[in-house]
Amino acid sequence: MILTLALLAGLVLAWLLIGVVEKFRLGLRFTQALLYVPFKLAYRVSDDRIRIARKAQAPVIYVISHQSRFEPALMLSLLPDDTLHILDEVSARSPWLEPWRELGRTIAFNAEHLFVSRRLVRVLKGKGRLAVYLPDAVEPDIKTFRLFRAVTRIAMQADAKIVPIFVAGARGLPVSLTQADKAPRHWFPQLSISVLEPMTVAELAARNPDQASNTNALFDRVAEARLFGADLDRGLFLAMRDAAARVGASHPIIEDVISGALSYRKMFIGARVLGRRFEAVTAPGEAVGLLLPNANGVVLSFVGLLSGARVAAMINYTAGPASVTAAVRTAVIRTVVSSRAFIEKADLADIVAAVENGGAKLLWLEDVRESVTALDKLAAALLWRWPLQQQDAAKPAVVLFTSGSEGTPKAVVLSHKNLLANAMQAEARITISPADILLNVLPVFHSFGLTGGTILPLVTGVKLFLYPSPLHYKIIPEIARKVKPTVMFGTDTFLANYARTAKDGDFSSLRFVVAGAEAVKPETRRVYRERFQAEIIEGFGLTEAAPVVAVNTAIHGRDGTVGRLLPAMRMKLEPVEGISDAGQLWLDGPNLMMGYMTADRPGELQPLTGWHDTGDIVAVDREGFITIRGRAKRFAKIAGEMVSLGAVEMLVQSLWPEDRHAAVAVPDKRRGERIVLVTTADDANPDELRKFGKQAGAAELMVPNDIIKVEEIPVLGSGKTDYVSTRKLAIDRLGLGVAA
């Protein structure tokens, strides 16, 4: 009995002592500190940033993402005690919350009347504080989004600052408000409180003045709190390992048509075995080429390189021998990992020769597998959770090569932080979960296929099914019927071709399709909506941005646009001569590249400083939706007028929707340049196009007089139109000599 009492007294004393420490460390009231101690001990709460919330000058509104039943208790323990907490009806009545409700002032949430109350504005104007718990929705429905509008209106009327708060890890708690299949439960996950600096609505809107919606500015700020809830300084390997811990090491994470499915554990074991071999022939920080198709092997090799602190240089084997040799030399690649079976099957002997001409040696996966011993496998099985080398998120992780659709490719150097930030930016905008299956047919040497189609699922627990070629138009719909993906990535060209060969049920499992790299045609969007009940959500990106810049969502989307800017990104539009309603897009954000390597300065990182000029001409509406008018280089200057070649293609597509078209500018002695249409439409003729253009209200300058008919328009491996080759073809056909 005495021992029991002594033990209890010891526990109470320890509780009191920890409470005292928390009181002085965070500036809490003693009762707050005492009720916070159980959370602190059980969930190892990372809470340093809560000081930002406590120090915020009133009037202030704390906007809290409500993921679980614990947030109200946590916030009542940590926020200033004069805060008025607006609780949902369950939290306002829960008996277990009673001790925490006594810590501050609370009122019950009434969805019909809460935010029309003038009392809240009066509270704030009296130097008050509000804590508002908004439903945790990446894509809020109309009713939820009205709450964002209401908070915005109250904040503006009271001139209050906004402080978003997101508790990372709370979604996996046993008292989570998310379904268990979408957020696997853990009894004691580590929690981390993400708090952003106080800003007024006007200050939030001023960060991106080209999008004037105050509500969207608040919504984006809340999404930023979610983004920074992820530790972007962890590095990609550790972020993948964290995902394995959340969803379970036995969770199937990658699968291909040959090797079958691998769990997280098996993936990391295989990656460690390969990483050891890569370590033996390369140095830390060295760029190591990957010349592999979309299959489990490329993921294992990629993760193995990350584990060993090597830089994965993704070789575009569809770019042609000259480009491959230039890529190897530009990034100073001495070793390229590949597979003899792949080289033989894809008939890439010329690419192997190009790699060797660039000064690199081939490391064959078949040889690596033969050299692996039972001891290697045992060591990897025991140590799979630990990387081979210390991880540094600020260092390079990947080298990608720009598509070269308008010129010589450059090497883009992306850090771990760039890539992880972009994956988490997408996760903060699009609703995905471990219950999803992602079908990726886009090659990993393309930034969209790497970040969106590979890294994003690996760091979120979404099962990834890899298919080696996007060009297998008849096979991919059959694969989709068997795999039953809920999410798919593609380009308009690929998606349109899949739809032509697909049976009605082939894509019936899809929730949505993310499309990028080129504009989505209305016909493609219509087919997927009507035949497969799947929404195509169009986005926009560039390799230099790792790559996603903007995206529509299933709920917040606008056809004909590429969506809204991702969280934590800023943009500005510079005027362009001859264009009054759009500007040249410049970007800044955590996903922007470290810099370039160029052929004239091989292996030398030329760092990006400040804003990045995308070279794209865009228009932005007041809700922030971005419309791409075209590349700056994709405008023709005809008799002093700027004409968008992209707009020409859209006009032609409306007339001949079943065919493919490319508009290019060629030299013209009289007017500087003229537009040539290269098309697969056999019946295309200039007279019909002029008549259609006149009916559509198109300017006469943008209607091509020259039409060149081809069987196929040249495309790059990424699915984009190869405008360099297309322009050369037009110049040759028209007998204009060497391109200007």
Exposed, middle or buried: residue 204 (CB in 10 Å: 0-12, 13-18, 19+)? buried
Exposed, middle or buried: residue 641 (CB in 10 Å: 0-12, 13-18, 19+)? middle
Residue 174 half-sphere exposure, CB side, CA atoms within 13 Å? 3
Helix axis angle, 142-158 to 118-125, nearest 10°: 40
Instruction: Report the largest interatomic distance among the alpha carbons of the chain, rounded to a whole angstrom.
Output: 105
Q: How far is CA 465 from CA 122, 436, 482, 533, 700, in A?
A: 54, 11, 11, 21, 48
Query: Who's near 724: CB < 8 A, 6+ residues apart?
Result: 404, 405, 406, 407
| b/e per residue 401-412 (b: at least 16 CB within 10 A) | bbbbbeeebbbb
Tokens of 434: 């471990």
- Residue tagged active-site, from 66, 416, 446, 556: 66
Tokens 């916030």, residue?
75
Residue 456 half-sphere exposure, CB side, CA atoms within 13 Å? 33
The DSSP line for 556-617 is S--TTS--EEPTT-EEEEEEETTEEEEEEEEEESTTS-SEEEETTEEEEEEE--S-EEEEEE
3-state secondary structure 475-509: HHHHHHHHHCCCEEEECHHHHHHHHHHCCCCCCCC
Query: Who's near 344: CB < 8 A, 6+ residues apart?
Result: none
* CB 633 within 8 Å of CB 615: yes
Tokens of 580: 């009054």
Nearest alpha-carbon partner for 112 in 71, 157, 147: 147
The DSSP line for 53-79 is HHHPPSSEEEEEEE-BTTHHHHHHHHS
* CB 724 within 8 Å of CB 404: yes
Amino acid at the residue 520: V
Tokens 């022939």, residue?
281
C-beta atoms surrounding 600 within 10 Å = 7
661 is catalytic: no
Helix residue ranges, H only, 287-320 = 296-307
Residue 541 half-sphere exposure, CB side, CA atoms within 13 Å? 34
> Chain-centre distance of CA 543, in angstroms?
12
The sheet that has 579-588: what strands, in order across it? 570-576, 579-588, 612-620, 626-631
* CB 652 within 8 Å of CB 685: no
Amino acid at the residue 116: V
C-beta atoms surrounding 427 within 10 Å = 21
> Which H helix or E strand runs over 337?
strand 335-338
| Cα angle value 598/602/604 (rounded, 5°) | 85
Residues belonging to the chain: 740
Catalytic residues: 66
